[in-house]
Structure 1
Amino acid sequence: MKKMSFAKIPEVLEIPNLIDIQKKSYEEFLQPGKSPLSRKPQGLEAIFNEIFPINAAKGLSSLEFASYRLEEPKYNIKECLDRGLTYDLPLKATFRLVIREEESGTGGQLREIKEEEVYLGEIPLMTPQGTFIINGAQRVVVSQLHRSPGVVYGFSIHPNGKHLYSCRIISYRGGWLEFELDVNDLVYARIDRKRKMLATALLRALGYQKDEEILSLFYPTRELKVEEPPKILKIKGPRFSRALGRIAIRTIRKSVRRLG
C-alpha cells in the first residue's frame, strides 16, 4: 500500500509498525516453525524446562521434557469469525519417563525409558493483525507496565500534615506484601491489597508468639545479673514498638525493676 504525505516538515524517523510489538512478542513465546534443537530458552520452552524434570521421592524415576510441537489450526480466520469459533492450534509435548533400578538409586543403571507424546490443549493463535479470535469475536491484548520485583518505599500526607510511610514488597511470583503506618503510628500489613491486619498478627503467624520475641527483632537486648539492691534503669525517651503498634515502655518517670 502506497502512502501519501502532505506534511511540510520532513519525517526524521520512520514511524514503526506498532503491531509488530505484539506479533514479535507472541512469536518469541511460541517460536513456531523452529526445530526443538534450535529453540531458544524463552517462552514455552523456558516454562517446560523450568518445571521438568520431575523426580520421584526416592529418585528411582523421573519425568523429563523432550520437546513440544504445534499443529496447524483446524479452522482458518474467516471460518472462526463466521461460525463463532476460537482461532487456536493444538499443543502437543513429548515427555520421557526414566526408571532406574531400585537397589542402585539415582546413580544406578537405567531399567527402562518410555517416551510418549501428550496432548496438552489448545493455544489461541494470533492473526496477522495482532488480534485473537475468541468465540468468533476479535480480542486484543493490551501491554502493561509491571513493577520490577523488589522493595518499594513511599509515603502519603494526612490532612493534618502528618507523613504516613508505607513499604511494598513485590515478589517475582506470588502475592504482594505491604506495610503501612496509620495516623496513630500503628503498623498494618496487607497481602495482595486485601483487608489490613496488625503487623504483629502477621509476625505471630510466622512463629513469633511471645511479645519478647517480637521486641527482640527490633530492639537490642541486655542480660543483667541479679543483684541487691535493685537497679534503677533510666530510659531516654519512650520506646515505641512498631511491631506491637504501641508504646512498649513509657518513660514519664524512672522505671524501677526488680531483677530476678
Structure 2
Amino acid sequence: MCGRYALTAPPEAVREFLGLVELESFPARFNIAPTQPILVVVAGECQELGSNLPDRRATLVRWGLTPGWVKDPKDFPLLLNARAETAIDKASFRAAMRHRRVLVPASGFYEWHRPPKESGEKSQAYWIRPRKGGIVAFAGLMETWSSADGSEVDTGAILTTRANGTIGPIHDRMPVVIKPEDFSRWLDCKTQEPREIADLMVPADDDMFEIIAVSDLVNKVSNMGADLQAPAAVQPPLKPVRKHDPGEDQFRLF
C-alpha cells in the first residue's frame, strides 16, 4: 500500500525528468496525504493523436479515485491505491486502466512496519527513497467525477504491486514504478491496451530503493517539514511481513 509520499525535487527537475511541455512552480511537499491535491502527468494532444513525440502535461487531481458511475462519493470508499494484479478487471478501475493512465512523480514514499499486536511493539515508519536520489514516477490512474449540478472533480489513485526484496521486510506491497523509457508506452491509451502494458506493473529492482527509519512525525498530516525524513536509530526488520488482506489497500477516511 502507498498512503503517504513526498515530492521535494525542484519543478525544473520534475519537468525535465518527465518531458513536460511546461510546469508551474510548486513548493516542496514532504508529507503528501490522502484527499490532498497531487501532481500527475498525462499524455498531451500529440500523443493522444498517435504521435511519438513526448508531448505531456501536468495537472492536479485529488488523491482518492472516484469512478464516474458513483452517485455520491460520501457513500463510496476512498480508493488511494489500485492493485496492479486486479485493476484491469475491477469495475472501479477498468475504465481508467483503459483510457486514463497517468504518472505520479515522487521523491520517495513512506511505509510502516506493523508488528503483530501480541508482540507489544509499536509501528515503525520508514522513508523509502531512490538509492541514487532523484525522482521516480509511480503508475497512476485518473477519473473525473461529475456531480448532478454539473461540477467536476479530477481524482486519482496509485497502482501497487507485491514488494521487492528490499521493501518486503517492511510491507508486502509497494507502488508500481514506471521507468523513463516506458513513460510513453504507459501513457499511450490509444494504442496500448491494458493487457499490453501489464508487464510494466511489476516490482522495482531490489537495488532501486533504500530504506531509512524515521520518527513518527510523519503520522500527522499537519507535520510537513523536512525533519520528517531525518534518520532515526532503528534497524529495519529482516523477515518479510505477513500477507495482508487486499481490502487494506482501499479504505475509507472520514
Q: Same fold (TM over 0.5)?
A: no
Alignment TM-score, normalising by the size of structure 2: 0.17
Higher radius of gyration, 1 or 2: 1
